[in-house]
Amino acid sequence: MIAISFVLALLQGTFPGNVPGTEIGGGLPSGYEPSGAVWHPQRNQLLIVSDDGFVSAMNADGSNLQLWTLPGDLEAITYAGLETNVVYIGREHPDAVLEFDLSTPAGALLRTFDLSTTMTGPTNTGLEALTFVPIDGHPEGGVFHAGLQDDGKIYVFDLPIVTSTTSTAVTFLNTITPSPGLTDISGMDFDRATGTLYAIFDSANRVLAMDAMGGLLNNYSLLPGNDQEGIALKGCEVFIAEDVGPEVWVYGEFPDASGCHTLFVDTGALSVSAGGAQSFALAAGAGYSGKLHLLLGTLHGTSPGQPVGGLVIPLNPDPWFSFTLQQPNTPPLTNGFGALGPAGNATATLNLPAGFVPASLVGKTAWHAFVVVDPLTGTLPSVSNPTPLTFLP
């Protein structure tokens, strides 16, 4: 215990976002109690749940609010793949993961995965946090991490969200203890761009940053606000949902201003023999609305990359780079080139039929990144981070 406390003290730092933040929850209905949040890059929306039975979606500035009703004490929300309509909601008492479809105005509860035989707490201290952690090559795409407020631990589950559309089987895998003695976990999010798991501990006003297995990376104190029950990462911004007000705050430069990610994928690996698809969510930002995107690729790494006009495209030239440059909307790539939407967003897909990729590429990695093209000047004002795709047998 002394050694763990010493490590926590060494890693401790103040909240690294820009303070004060901006409150964007003013459009939520009176009485709405934000209790969980996640940023969905494919929908380009912030998804929030209320513990009095509401699911909502809004733009990053709080506009364009949509509401669905779902009975239950809803405490957390996450998504698995980049599929735009199906989300996973954490319910408290009885603790469960609810599979919910947002595709209609009324929404639809598809499945209920009961977690109560593994994790449960006294009234109002049960499941309080939920996030999905992708795992390359996993048959379900990854696993769910559920936080129990009563003991501050994270319970890891395997749910059949890909291999079945009807099964409600729950497989408990293991338990993570972020910090012995620290309870009241109230929100979680896994930043897929950096591989960092963030967990809020409400009564301590603290955020822990961990790797996917719970290894401590940073221990941030002085989390702004109070009654913090949701955390959602969007590039270098973080949303904190507070269940009083209601209030949803956004803070910039979290955890720092460098290395902001604008390209996201739903998987980092595909089987050569089985084939499959990698979906891309491009989030250049509203400042690039109306400009063009060009998604490029390489099989030869990201360094030193291609210097262009003061920027560096983090891809090395090779035949795949030339193909994506010269034939951007040609299969297997869909929408590699096109206009960015009003929020500076777009989607693209790499479809790889079974046997399309040569077996000689098993174990190798393809990389993709996009550039923003100004159609008036022909210049490249922005370049994204690279994302990997590893080829499995």
pLDDT of 2 > 70? The answer is no
The CATH class of 263-392 is: mainly beta
Radius of gyration of the chain (CA): 21
pLDDT of 36 > 90? The answer is yes
pLDDT of 61 > 80? The answer is yes
pLDDT of 386 > 50? The answer is yes
DSSP code of 30? T
Model pLDDT, residue 286: 80
Model pLDDT, residue 267: 84
245 or 93, which is more confident: 93
Same fold, 2-251 and 263-392: no
Residue boundaries of the structural domains of the chain: 2-251, 263-392
Write down the mean pLDDT value for the chain. 91
Model pLDDT, residue 18: 83
Q: Is 381 helix (H, G, I), strand (E, B) or coil?
A: coil
Model pLDDT, residue 186: 96
Model pLDDT, residue 3: 45
79 or 84, which is more confident: 79
Mean pLDDT, range 103-114, rounded to an integer: 97
Share of the chain above pLDDT 70, in %: 96
Query: Cα(325)–Cα(73) distance, rounded to whole angstroms?
Result: 50
Residue 221 to residues 9, 59, 204, 236, 335: CA-CA distances in angstroms? Answer: 11, 28, 8, 18, 43
Q: pLDDT tens digits for 305-364? A: 999 988 999 999 999 999 999 999 999 999 999 999 988 899 999 999 999 999 999 999
Q: What angle do CA 177, 250, 147 make, to 5 degrees?
A: 20
Mean pLDDT, range 366-370, rounded to an integer: 97
pLDDT of 4 > 60? The answer is no
Query: Cα(229)–Cα(372) distance, rounded to whole angstroms?
Result: 36
Model pLDDT, residue 13: 63
Q: pLDDT tens digits for 109-159? A: 999 999 999 998 887 889 999 999 999 889 999 999 999 999 999 999 999
Model pLDDT, residue 103: 95
pLDDT of 9 > 50? The answer is no
Model pLDDT, residue 229: 94
Q: pLDDT tens digits for 233-270? A: 998 899 999 988 779 999 988 887 666 788 988 888 89
Query: Cα(372)–Cα(356) distance, rounded to whole angstroms?
Result: 29
Non-local (6+) Cβ contacts of 322 within 8 A are none
pLDDT of 191 > 80? The answer is yes
Architecture per CATH, domain 2-251, reads as 6 Propeller (2.120)
